[in-house]
Structure 1
Amino acid sequence: MHKERGQSLVLGSVFLATIVVSLLYLFNVSQQNLNKTKLQNSADATVISGANLLARDLNFKAYTNRAMVANHVAVAQYVGLSSWGNFAEKTGENIADVTSWIPLVGQITSAVEGVLTAINQVLQPVMKGAVFATDIVNSGLSLSQDLMNAATMVALVETSKNVLEANDSDAYVDIASAVGVGEFLLYDWVDFQGSYDRQDDTGRYQEHFDLITNSVDPFTENRSFSWGFPFSQTIFPDKVNTRQAGGTELFKNGDEAEVWSAMDTLGFHVYHYSCRLTSGCKWRGGEVPVGWGASHAGSDKDTTNYRSDSYYGRSRDINGRASRYAHENEEDINSYYSGLQSFYDISQVEQTNTAPMLTLAISKDKSDITTSSTFNIGTENPDSTRLIDIDIEESVALPRDKLTVLSKAKIYYYRDQSLWGRSDSKWEYGNLYNPYWQVTLNETDNSERVLLTALALVL
């Protein structure tokens, strides 16, 4: 019976070793999973932070583009008011001259002329100052886009580093990913959007130009209308029609600054119905020019350079004679306006709502992960305890001395239909005029993971 003593100790030792190995395995696997989860969360936080910087850059450019468009439209309004001021003063002067011999009426028209002249003498320098101030603001907005673009690229690297360190001080951007981010900034991001000016021939400048001209208010675009009774009436066989015409136009000027040009005219169209043997019966007569004025800002081009009947609210077609005199009473605001400033826009011609995606690979060295080997368990006698020295890596084709995870963020444009009053199925494509660029995490595909594995093994 005494020979059977100690058998349970032997069995217990065997089972104890198995339990220890199992516990160590569970500990190592749990540490691996915890560190992978933490590493993935750190990578997601890092790539989201970087992508938010890029989206903020796009939205900043959208805000500043909108501001520049609004400022150019404001310049059109200032030029239009300048033209209208000259027109009003000249009209008052002409009417006062014609009616000066009429008792009481001449005194009234002379007083009105004095008021209009005084107003215009104040109006013109104010409009020049407004054009000058607006042009300075536009120059600053254009410069701010360049500065923001450069600062974003620098901040992307620094911010990613700081966010990653705050989430996991032992993690780092894998060298393969660092190379990829550099190529992303130098090629993908630069190719996605760029700076454009009047030398552009891709269509971006023309779109910017058209957006500005389509944004002017009705009064600035067309100030043409007919005066009603008693200024327009028919007492057969005579009739008179008093017509005011005017408008403000934006003209290209090659490599030089664009020109905002405005003209305003007033004419009495007097007709008499008569019959002649050679030409029959019809209304005969013409225009009596009453008032005219003009103004321009930008390159040194006055209204004589733009002679189409469709310009200036069809002023040349409506009041042809008065229009011919307009340049004699034209304000020159050239040196106060430098034209359309350079601006950023999306380079791609095809319609899209997605910017290039930012992808990051984050790694963590095996030595920075707490495992059984950290406590020297199973390492004192490796020949006899090799079962305890368990690898923490799962069976994946990655370098054995580190963990690596992949994270990708999508920068996309989305404007809710309720924000622009649409209830149909149409949507707005991505652009740099409305600030609706947003960020979300995006799934990585197998090809990206395979590429990352290959680069990590090589580098």
Structure 2
Amino acid sequence: MSSTPINVSSQKGQALIFMLAFTLVLSVSMIYLFNTSQLLAERTQAKVLADHAAYNTAIKQAQLLNANAYMNKAKIANQLATAQAVSVASWAKHFEPMPRNTGTIRYIPYVGPYVQEAITEYSRAVQPLADLAAPTILINNQATEVISFQQNLLNSTSLIPIQQVHKDTIDKSSIGAGFTSRPLMTASKYAVNPLGGSFIKRYSGNSTNPSIGRARLKDVVLASRDDFTRERREKSVDDYSIPLFKNRLEARGGTELSNDLNQWKGVDTFSHHYRFWKTRRWRLPKLTWREDQMGYGSAVVRNSGTGDNDRRNNAGYNNANRNKDALRRSNQFIPRWDSRRNRTMNVGESGVPQFWDLETQMLAQDEPTLPTSIRVSKRANGLDTTSGASSLKVGDELNIISKDDVTAVSTAEVYFERPFTDMLGRPNYFNKNRLEKASLLNPYWQVRLTNNSGRALAESNVL
């Protein structure tokens, strides 16, 4: 049996075919892995940029809201200082008639002349305080008006800088080359939007409706007064040891706002009340009270016009009407700068200033938020893949890249929350341990990233 000899030379190169096929598959796989990793990197960068763009835009809005809160607090502080100055002036002026009205004290044996002299000297000493209040009032009212102007200007021009933040974030980022961004308007809200849907608004006018005028801030201002401004009352001296008679000294006074919210008025009275038997014709004598008015004065400052918007003293002024005779005479002793005689002080804002706060519907919500959604994208031909960076096409059937752009959407929101504790770890609750509702009266607006809303995703897919 003979065997056919094998021609070894005829089989050379057959493995090359398998090697070429394997190399092709390996190359395609490597390209697939490269493109996949590049796409993942691009998508990660897009998401990072979207997070930063949305967060930075929200920070800009939070800064705007906090700036408004600081401005509101500054205006309130200025008006409280004005109220204090009016209070000091009114209190000082009510000493002016005391030396004349207490002249009978000099007839008290031994001590009477010294007491009368002390009253006279004290009255003279405190009178300059009334005039010294004028610069304080003028400066505070003018400062309030300047802050209001700056606040209006800041809010009315805020939209364009806020809308520019996302672009600046992309442009200044080291990984932002080739990416573009745009806000999702249907899913975003802006503090002040001329097209509608503003988050905050300006409250002005003297309407008693808190959703229209300044009535809501009035309550805040009045509640923030110090004790001296709110009421100037000394303890009554009652039941003098005189048989069948009672004596009482009443010091009543306070500083209040007028009904039109544009005026501070202070009233101070001091009277001696005593009981006596009043004789009546054809009837028995009656034990009743009599008032000897000793001191009375007042001070008024307005931001427009002259006169007194509360001529009948309906505001009460810490029950000053208990000294009725003194109250009726309180307008006889007033400072030289008083708005009832001088227009000099009617410059600036006095009383309750105009202010910015959350829009009425936002105030009604328990936890209003200000969302900002940003879409970041990169076109397919700009991707760092074989199909995007060169003319090499591997084939769509391999799903190496999507035909669409690489996109990412992120949402950040501004929310209000007072910290539970202060810097020293002490409880930081107000209002009997109740959480403070959102407003522009305290600068506790913060920012957090949150889930995208359905509206944001829908708008992103349409673009």
Work out whether the TM-score is over 0.5: yes
Q: How do residues 266-305 of structure 1 correspond to structure 2 at under 5 angstroms?
A: 266-272=270-276, 283-298=287-302, 299-302=305-308, 305=311
Q: Which residue of 1 aligns with 2:385?
A: 371
Which residue in 1 is equivalent to 2:76? 69
Measure the CA separation in 2 of the matches of 1:39 and 1:280: 98
The answer for the alignment partner of 2:129 in structure 1 is 123
**Aligned with residue 31 of structure 1, among 13, 31, 38:** 38
For residues 182 and 208 of structure 1, the distance between their equivalents in structure 2, rounded to whole angstroms, comes to 25
Cα distance 1:360–1:275, how it changes in 2: closer, same or farther (>3 A)? same
Residue 406 (1) aligns with residue 420 (2): no
Deviations 1:346-380 (A, max 9, x none): 1134133233311111111222222123564745x
Amino acid at match of 1:223: R
Match of 1:353 in 2: 367
Q: Give 1:291 deviation, angstroms.
A: 1.2
- Encode CA deviations 1:157-179: one digit per residue, 9 max, x unaligned: 333221111220321124x7479
2:329 paired residue among 313, 325, 331: 325
Contact 1:378 1:388 survives alignment (8 Å):
no
TM-score normalised to structure 2 length: 0.84
Name the amino acid aligned to 1:336: M
Aligned partner (choices 269, 272, 285) of residue 265 of structure 1:
269
> Partner amino acid for 1:314?
N
The answer to whether residue 345 in structure 2 is matched with residue 341 in structure 1 is no
Q: Hey, what's the Cα distance between the residues in 2 that align with 1:346 and 1:249?
A: 26
CA distance in 2, matches of 1:269, 1:423: 40
Higher deviation after alignment, 338-347 or 220-229: 220-229
Matched, 1:217 2:226: yes
User: 1:106 & 1:439 partners in 2: Cα distance?
Assistant: 70
Between 1:54-63 and 1:95-104, the stretch displaced more is 95-104
AA aligned opposite 2:141: D
Deviation at 1:199, TM superposition (A): 4.8
In 1, are the aligned partners of 2:200 and 2:358 still within 8 Å (CA)?
Answer: yes
Q: Are the counterparts in 2 of residues 365 and 401 from structure 1 also a CA contact under 8 Å?
A: yes
Query: CA 1:199–1:85 in 2, change beyond 3 Å: closer, same or farther?
Result: closer
Q: Which runs of 5+ in 1 are unaligned?
A: 380-385, 395-399
Alignment-mate amino acid for residue 146 of structure 2: G
Q: Is the 8 A contact 1:263 1:303 kept in 2?
A: no
Please tell me the residue identity of whatever aligns with 2:68.
K
Any idea what SS the aligned residue of 2:80 has?
A: helix
Q: 1:44 Cα shift?
A: 0.8
Counterpart in the other structure of 1:207: 216
In structure 2, what is the Cα distance between the partners aligned to 1:105 and 1:78?
Answer: 33
Q: Tell me what 1:442 maps to.
A: 450
Please state how far the C-alpha of 1:203 moved relative to its aligned partner: 4.8
Change (3 A) 1:240 1:373: closer
| Counterpart amino acid of residue 268 in structure 2 | D
1:313 alignment partner, SS class: coil
Quote how far apart the aligned CAs of 1:217 are.
Answer: 1.9
Tell me if structure 2 keeps the 8 A contact 1:177–1:360.
yes
Tell me the TM-score normalised to structure 1 length.
Answer: 0.84
Q: 1:237 touches 1:273 (CA, 8 Å); kept in 2?
A: no
1:112-134 CA-partner distances (Å, limit 9, x unpaired) = 424422431x2122111111111
**Partners of 2:163 and 2:272 in 1: how far apart?**
69
- Flag the 1:111–1:57 CA change in 2: closer, same or farther, 3 A: same
Write out aligned runs for 1:53-202 (5 A).
53-96=60-103, 99=106, 105-106=112-113, 109-110=116-117, 112-120=119-127, 122-167=128-173, 168-174=176-182, 177=184, 186=193, 191-199=198-206, 201=209, 202=211
SS at match of 2:366: coil
Give secondary structure in 1 for the equivalent of 2:102.
helix
- Structure 2 unmatched ranges of 5 or more: 1-5, 422-426
Residue 274 of structure 1: how far off its partner (Å)? 7.8
Instruction: Measure the CA separation in 2 of the matches of 1:416 and 1:279.
Output: 71
Equivalent pair of 2:38/2:384 in contact (CA under 8 Å): yes
| Offset of residue 294 of structure 1 | 0.8
Deviation at 1:141, TM superposition (A): 1.9
Seq. identity, %? 21
Distance 1:127 1:445 in 2: 56
CA shift in 2, pair 1:198/1:156, >3 Å: same
8 Å CA contact 1:354–1:410 kept in 2: the answer is no
Judging changes above 3 Å, is the alpha-carbon distance between structure 1 residues 18 and 387 closer, same or farther for their aligned structure 2 residues?
farther
Q: CA deviation at 1:4?
A: 3.0
Kindly indicate whether the alpha-carbon contact (under 8 Å) linking 2:187 and 2:372 is maintained by their aligned counterparts in 1: no
Conservation of the 8 A alpha-carbon contact between 1:49 and 1:163: yes
Q: 1:421 to 1:358 in 2, by over 3 A?
A: closer
Query: Alignment length, in residue pairs?
Result: 435
Alignment root-mean-square deviation, CA:
3.2
Displacement of 1:108 = 5.3
The verdict on how the C-alpha distance between 1:422 and 1:48 changes in structure 2, with shifts beyond 3 A counting, is: same
Post-superposition CA distance 1:375-434 (Å, at most 9, x none): 64745xxxxxx549966534xxxxx35222111111111113435346988422211111
Cα offset for 1:92? 3.1
How many Å apart are 1:452 and its aligned residue? 1.5
* Partner SS state of residue 237, structure 1: coil
In 1, are the aligned partners of 2:415 and 2:447 still within 8 Å (CA)? yes
SS at structure 2 position matched to 1:88: coil
Counterparts of 1:361 and 1:266, CA distance in 2? 70
Distance 1:233 1:135 in 2: 46
Q: By percentage of residues, which structure has more helix?
A: 1
Tell me how far apart the structure 2 counterparts of residues 423 and 115 of structure 1 sit (CA, whole Å). Answer: 41
Partner of 1:17, secondary structure, is helix
Whether the 8 Å contact between 1:244 and 1:264 is mirrored in structure 2 is yes
Change (3 A) 1:211 1:7: same
Paired with 1:375 and 1:194, the residues of 2 have a C-alpha distance of 49
Question: After the TM superposition, which residues 2-13 of structure 1 pair with which residues of structure 2 at under 5 Å, given as runs?
Answer: 2=8, 3-13=10-20
Structure 1 counterpart SS, 2:356:
strand
Q: For the residues of structure 2 that align with 1:198 and 1:240, how far apart are their CA atoms?
A: 47
